[in-house]
Structure 1
Amino acid sequence: MKLRFFVFLGILATMGLVLTNCSSAKKVVKEKNNEEVLQVMRLTNQYFMNKWPDTGKPIYTTRWRPSNIWTRAVYYEGLMALYQIDPNKAYYDYAVDWGNKHKWGLRNGIETRNADDHACGQTYLDLYEIDPQPERIKDIKASIDGIIASNKYDDWTWIDAIQMAMPIFAKLGVMYKDEKYFDFMYKMYHHSKYVEGGGLYNKEDKLWWRDKDFVPPYREPNGEDCYWSRGNGWVVAALVRVLELIPENEKHRAEYLQDYIELIEGLAAVQREDGFWDVSLHDPTNFGGRETSGTALFVYGMAWGINNGILDATTYRPMIDKAWDAMVKEAVHPSGFLGYLQGTGKEPKDSQPVSFSSVPDFEDYGLGCFLLAGAEVYKLK
């Protein structure tokens, strides 16, 4: 009997040791994974900063464009997300230098109504909050105030625009404690969702058509609707960034939250086995294959949902891990260059073919999407 008792104590002690070791192992793995996430973000970002030391240098593809266009603006959104988890002064200085080089202005001046021109304002406002220099906010606020004063709210005719401009309205509403920004951004969002082309959101599939050109009767080669990956990613990012900003009692918050949850559900249903998403979400035969920008935006949205207690980790964490690991292993070059990145466009056929070594016409926005995703993955418990 005594022997059995001591054997039992030995088993308990062993179990305790195993459990302790398991707990320690989990902690070590978590810390190691966090460090790995940060290291790959630093690698990819440093590649870009090295390639573009002059933040004001115009970008040439088919023609010259100023470097405060939407593609570069999305990169700086990602850089600011990296700065939040890795407060390296070089990142801040790089962003401030970009603003200074463009005199904190918009591509087509304060009269512009183009959401692509407004996108740079997201980082301008972030930098203003860090150091409230009046010039950082002057032009973007004047432009948004002008849009509100016009009472014309049908400008967001393509879903990318929702991400480029909507978070600016949200941030201004918070900064100035003025609901007119919240109310007007909802008018614009409502037009995109319900009115433009008959409504760009398909509640049945829980996905968005990119613009009115893709609303049925338009079909993909396999007969399905055309849901462009990155376009839906822009809506994910917009909803995340708006929900992160607006008050809990904002009158349209419940609708934004519901739209976010439904969109995530629609995306979860079509993830590829390898972790990526196809460029055509319902037709893998139409230029199917790995694509980094849409995948990164979906990871950003899903990880944010878990971090904010909105999404179930048991359901979505495996999807996130699979997608993040796939991007790191399959898309990131040793140099920090990102592969499998579709260039600019509006549908699956644009900027094809997409491969590990293909160079998109603009490298900046894909990195921005990747950094946004990485910052949220880094925060996962």
Structure 2
Amino acid sequence: MKKILVLFLFSVGCSLYAQQFSADMKKTDIMKVCDAVAKWQINHQKEVKHHPLDWTNGALYRGMTEWGKVSGNETCYDFVREIGEKYNWNMWDRVYHADDICVGQAFIEMYRKLGDKRMLQPVMERAYYVATHPSKAPLLKTDAVGTLERWSWADALFMAPPVYAALYTMTGDDVYLNYMNSEYKECVDSLYDEEYSLFYRDNKRIPMREKNGAKQFWGRGNGWVFAGLPLIIDNLPIDCDSRNYYIQLFVKMAEAVRKTQCEGGDWRTSLLDPDSYDMPENSCSAFMCYGIAWGLRNEYLAKRTYKPVLEKGWKSLVKAVHTDGKLGYIQPVGAAPKAAGRDATDVYGVGAFLLAGSELYKLIK
């Protein structure tokens, strides 16, 4: 009797983790899983502890607007619009902080869809002020002012630059482009490792080493940079000279991303010491899949080399989606490698997943 009970409980446990969604590279399958992930997050958003204008949610909203645009799922747009209206389409509080303009990416997309200037004005005013009054603090995370006012950490290269790229294209005002290029390149010069084509999270991490002696390249930190590059490039005109700089950096990073993928298709929270964190980190993995899918679709990456990487990566991501649409294995807010289990989720990981699904959906013929 006891043995039967154990077997029953085991079967129940297995059914809870049964994979409901297919990872086949078909539009119907991609739509099913992305709609489920988006719906789960929208239904559970009231449980999120982050401020609605925080960067965490900014990444979510960007994924929602992209998936809404690609799939026609108006619920995603409605979700972002309700939040924008509630906060009058404002940015968050810190004027110079890259995190606090991140929501502007989604609000710009809302403006592009609906043409309501109220959606654009606050982000334009914030970005214009910063670009015309640049901070003179050192671009160092260890500087008391530079840590807040400069793009002094890798994540910042996702949060703010796509806003400036979009506003340059929309207005034709060089002030946005010049500021973005200057700030971005200084951050690259500070944190990019030429040998590995990866980024340190910030200058405090440069001397750090993992348990296996490898340099500390944080998975999500590099995911932020890798995913931010397509958002910048897509927002720049084809004839813009600056595009080449970002494209070249993207291609270099893509090879490092390919090399650090694990056998199971995932990426770990520490890119050069995966064995110390023996589980996926899916905010990183989703950002990597998004970038690779974008690179394939735009023919910056060789299909023969990178298509298998994408297929394995997407399969690993879909495997982590619970039957109710919850996405697991997402590391909590942090600045360095740390493991996260199957039940760990957060909004930026969902945004990354929706970006990946959107780009994969566009890639499939």
Offset at residue 249 of structure 1 (A): 2.7
Distance in 2, matches of 1:189 and 1:318, equals 31
Q: Is 1:104 aligned with 2:89?
A: yes
Offset at residue 91 of structure 1 (A): 2.0
Q: C-alpha offsets along residues 131-175 of structure 1, whole Å, 9 cap, x if unaligned?
A: 222221121111111111113374101110110000000000000
Q: Is 1:88 aligned with 2:73?
A: yes
Distance in 2, matches of 1:32 and 1:254, equals 30
Pick the structure with greater CA Rg. 1
Check conservation: 2:23, 2:315, Cα contact below 8 A.
no
Partner residue, 1:213 = 204
Distance in 2, matches of 1:219 and 1:238, equals 26
Match of residue 67, structure 1, among 37, 52, 75: 52
SS for the counterpart of 1:344 is coil
Q: Is 1:203 aligned with 2:194?
A: yes
Distance in 2, matches of 1:370 and 1:130, equals 22
Partner residue, 2:188 = 193
Partner residue, 1:166 = 161
Offset at residue 322 of structure 1 (A): 0.6
Check conservation: 1:58, 1:67, Cα contact below 8 A.
no
Check conservation: 1:286, 1:348, Cα contact below 8 A.
no
Offset at residue 380 of structure 1 (A): 2.1
Match of residue 280, structure 1, among 270, 274, 297: 270
Match of residue 129, structure 1, among 75, 98, 112: 112
SS for the counterpart of 1:285 is helix
Distance in 2, matches of 1:322 and 1:85, equals 23
Instruction: Note the 1:309-324 alignment, pairs <5 A.
Output: 309-324=299-314
Match of residue 31, structure 2, among 27, 34, 38: 38
Offset at residue 356 of structure 1 (A): 1.4
Moved more, 127-136 or 300-309: 127-136
Q: 1:305 to 1:32 in 2, by over 3 A?
A: closer
Structure 2 counterpart of 1:272, one-letter code: C
Distance in 2, matches of 1:32 and 1:311, equals 18
Partner residue, 2:342 = 356
Check conservation: 1:162, 1:238, Cα contact below 8 A.
yes
Distance in 1, matches of 2:288 and 2:224, equals 9
Distance in 2, matches of 1:302 and 1:117, equals 27
Match of residue 331, structure 2, among 324, 342, 346: 342
Partner residue, 2:175 = 180
Q: C-alpha offsets along residues 221-257 of structure 1, whole Å, 9 cap, x if unaligned?
A: 2111110011101101111111111123323221111
Distance in 2, matches of 1:149 and 1:287, equals 43
Partner residue, 2:134 = 151
Distance in 1, matches of 2:119 and 2:47, equals 20
Q: 1:151 to 1:221 in 2, by over 3 A?
A: same
Offset at residue 34 of structure 1 (A): 1.4
Distance in 1, matches of 2:112 and 2:222, equals 29
Q: C-alpha offsets along residues 300-329 of structure 1, whole Å, 9 cap, x if unaligned?
A: 000001101111111101010011011112
Check conservation: 2:38, 2:76, Cα contact below 8 A.
no
Structure 2 counterpart of 1:163, one-letter code: F
Instruction: Note the 1:14-53 alignment, pairs <5 A.
Output: 33-52=26-45
Q: C-alpha offsets along residues 21-73 of structure 1, whole Å, 9 cap, x if unaligned?
A: xxxxxxxx999721101100001111111123xxxx6943xxxx421111111
Distance in 1, matches of 2:221 and 2:278, equals 16
Moved more, 115-124 or 247-256: 247-256
SS for the counterpart of 2:332 is coil
Aligned-residue sequence identity (percent) comes to 32
Q: C-alpha offsets along residues 167-204 of structure 1, whole Å, 9 cap, x if unaligned?
A: 0000000000122211110111011111xxxx200111
Distance in 2, matches of 1:103 and 1:43, equals 29
Structure 2 counterpart of 1:151, one-letter code: P
Structure 1: 5+ residue runs without aligned partners? 1-28
Partner residue, 1:5 = none
Match of residue 122, structure 2, among 121, 135, 139: 139
Check conservation: 1:214, 1:226, Cα contact below 8 A.
yes
Q: Is 1:365 aligned with 2:365?
A: no
Structure 2 counterpart of 1:334, one-letter code: T
Offset at residue 99 of structure 1 (A): 0.3
Structure 1 counterpart of 2:163, one-letter code: I
Structure 2: 5+ residue runs without aligned partners? 1-21, 140-149
Offset at residue 340 of structure 1 (A): 1.0
Check conservation: 1:304, 1:376, Cα contact below 8 A.
yes
Distance in 2, matches of 1:368 and 1:71, equals 9
Q: 1:58 to 1:175 in 2, by over 3 A?
A: farther
Q: Is 1:306 aligned with 2:296?
A: yes
